[in-house]
Chain A
Amino acid sequence: MMAYEKTEGVRDARFDRSRPETERQTQLSRPAQLLVACAVAVCFTVAVVHVLMEFLYVAPSNTISRQYSQQINAWIDPYFDQNWQLFAPDPQSADQQISARTAMAGPQGVRQVGDWVDLTAIDEAAVRHDAFPSHTSQNMLRRAWSGYLDSHESSDESTTPQARMLQEYLLNIAAQRVAAHGQHGFDLVQLRVTTTPIAPPSSGASVSDATAAPSSVRYLPWWKVEAK
């Protein structure tokens, strides 16, 4: 492939060197020149505006980006949406461990509640010693939960369409994972999220100052599984 490539390069070069810079333009007729000039103006403007809009969109919020947020969003959304807050401003300093349990109606209407299944532990086990972990273990549950948190604030009531969609998504993930774990026939699912802060680095020899803050546990309400 390289050999072909080279011959082409040489041909181009021989041609280029023997050709004065302006000559090409004299080849284009007036209307053609005008057309290309217009295209240059349009492309140049679009490229510069695009780069500016992108910068304002991703940079930390500032006077300009606040004032023109509508125009900026209209330009960027949806295909150029991006966010480069990679471990920033601060990396996440806590681990979230998500478990699920199921319930089904028993013989006399008594509800039978299953054991907790640690969904995060399943993801962690899948990631361990894998040089190319799957998005299903690293991103699916993790991002579903952070999306749920963002859309629900403190209450578990889904008031916006986004919140309802994320609640349904989280429920679907839990139901699928628990079913894959061997539990079937349930009609309710509950999630429990344990947040454990990562201990700060111990300074020097003393281990005692590196104590982590205690974990906090959040129970989500029982959600009804829609029969499919």
Chain B
Amino acid sequence: MITDQASGAPLRVRRTRRSRAPIVGNPRPDPVTRAFTFVTEQPVSLHAAAVLRVGYGLLYLVYLLREFPNREEIWGPGSPWTPDLARELLGQTGWFSILTLSDSPRYFEACYALAVVTAALFMLGWHTRALSVLFAVVVTSFQGRSVLMTDGGDNLIVLMAIYLALTDCGRRWSLDAARRARPRVSVRTQVPRQGPLPSPSVRQQAILVQRSLRTLLHNCGMFVIAAQVCILYGSAGLYKVQGDLWRNGTALHYVLNLSLFRPWPELSQFADEHRLIIAAAGYLTVLAQVGFPFALFSRLKYVVLGLLLVMHIGIAVLMGLPMFSGAMIIADAVFLPDRFLLRLTRAGRRRRTDATGYVAPQSGHKDSSTLDRPIC
């Protein structure tokens, strides 16, 4: 029994404890107790957190590989933003970057390789706790080294990488989850334990406290991520309503004519010729951004998220900003309830079974109580 508890399997511990401890306390606790129980016991939106992990890990990996031919020019010791300049600016702002620790090209290549591996493993959810911290260090380091070459997309990835390190983003759809699900009791019982064990109650308490803190941190992280997205859209909208060009409906005409953001000039030209649509899309953008935080608490959020998705795909293709748009689309996913995400994956699997004729075993998740609570 003690070995099992010592294995650290929290479920086991909680169950054993339950069978021993008499249930005290009233069945309808006061709101403060309920809130306390909720934030320390119910990790919200674990699937959405997993989507963010996979999304940002993949996006950063693709970005690093895309810039492989230019890595030296962007982050390397031979960049026009020389290591000395970078160090001076980092010193002024108080930012830390592993890349400025040495000017050796070999050290830089090692850092680049570390970044690629970190992004890939973070995406897969391998030892996510540690990898999420490493991912945040890598992303901030690369950002700090080349801050003058970045745009809003990079900025958002940095913020999300830092916040994701607080969350339990490896609990679902990850290698960690797969490993946890594998039966391992037989292996455990064979391992002889060494040294004196602390008293079971202390161990249990430590495990319970750790679990509570972990859940608490996750919930706070998810709250901050959601709030960050609201602040982003809210302030982007607030600035736009101050602009004359957004007010008179011609803003998108100018956006479509910026020469560095016209990868497909024919397409931009075509869009620009449809004045009415351009004006309507401009107003819709402002409305969706300003209204975003208010739409989140109803089903209207699916409409607004859909609008923003279309808008971001438009930006990605027309303006050649897939990284920026990708970062925004992934951030929006924080508002998708787990129920919705699971329905999506189920629909995807059904389509695959229809194609192959294989019927995947179905279990659980029909009952809504099996789902993690949505963030809003």
A2 is an interface residue with CB less than 8 A from chain B? yes
In the complex, which residues of chain A have a beta carbon less than 8 angstroms from the beta carbon of B5?
A: none
A59 to B259, CA, bound (A): 29
Chain B contact residues: helix, strand, loop or mixed: helix
Chain B residue numbers with a CB within 8 Å of A1 are 173-174, 177-178
Contact between B158 and A2, CB atoms less than 8 A apart: no
Number of residues of chain B lying within 8 A (CB) of chain A: 116
A139 pairs with B92, CB closer than 8 A: no
Nearest to B39 among chain A residues (CB) is A40
- Shortest Cβ distance from B157 into chain A, in angstroms? 11
Q: Which residues of chain B are near A2, meaning CB under 8 Å?
A: 173, 345, 349
* Residue B80 is within 8 A (CB to CB) of chain A in the complex: yes
Whether A59 and B365, one on each chain, are in contact in the complex, defined by CB atoms closer than 8 angstroms, is: no
Would you give the 0/1 interface string for B222-252, flagging 1 where the beta carbon is closer than 8 Å to chain A?
0110011001111110111011111000111
From A81, A84, A120, A169, contact of B236 by CB (8 A)? A84
Q: Are B223 and A47 in contact (CB under 8 A)?
A: yes
Given contacts A1-B173, A89-B242, contact A80 B159 (CB under 8 A): yes
Q: Looking at the assembled complex, report how far the CB atom of B273 sits from the nearest CB atom of chain A, in whole angstroms.
A: 10
Q: A44-B220, A54-B228 are in contact. Are A124 and B33 (CB under 8 A)?
A: no
Flag if A60 contacts B239 (CB, 8 Å): yes
A17 interface residue per 8 A CB criterion: yes
Q: Is the CB of A40 within 8 A of B36?
A: yes
- The residues in A between 32 and 82 inclusive whose CB is less than 8 angstroms from any CB of B are 32, 35-37, 39-40, 43-44, 46-47, 50-51, 54-55, 58-60, 77-82
On whether the beta carbons of B240 and A89 are closer than 8 Å, the reply is yes
Complex contact B27–A20 (CB within 8 A): yes
Which B residues lie within 8 Å of A8 (CB)? Answer: 177, 180-181
**A12 → B minimal CB distance (Å):** 7
Cβ contact within 8 Å between B320 and A25 = no
Contacting B at CB under 8 A, from A2-40, are 2-13, 15-17, 19-29, 32, 35-37, 39-40
Is B195 an interface residue, CB under 8 A from the partner?
no
Query: B residues touching A (Cβ–Cβ < 8 Å)?
Result: 11, 14-15, 17-18, 21, 23-27, 29, 33-34, 36-37, 39-41, 62, 66-67, 70, 73-74, 80-82, 85, 88-89, 92-95, 140, 146, 148-152, 155-156, 158-159, 162, 172-174, 177-178, 180-182, 201, 204-205, 208-209, 212-213, 216-217, 220, 223-224, 227-228, 231-236, 238-240, 242-246, 250-255, 257-265, 272, 275, 317, 320-323, 345, 349, 360-361, 363-365, 367, 369-371
6 contacts between A and B (CB under 8 A): A5-B173, A21-B29, A51-B231, A81-B93, A130-B320, A133-B263
- 7 A-B pairs closest in CB distance: A4-B181, A89-B243, A172-B80, A88-B239, A13-B370, A22-B25, A90-B243
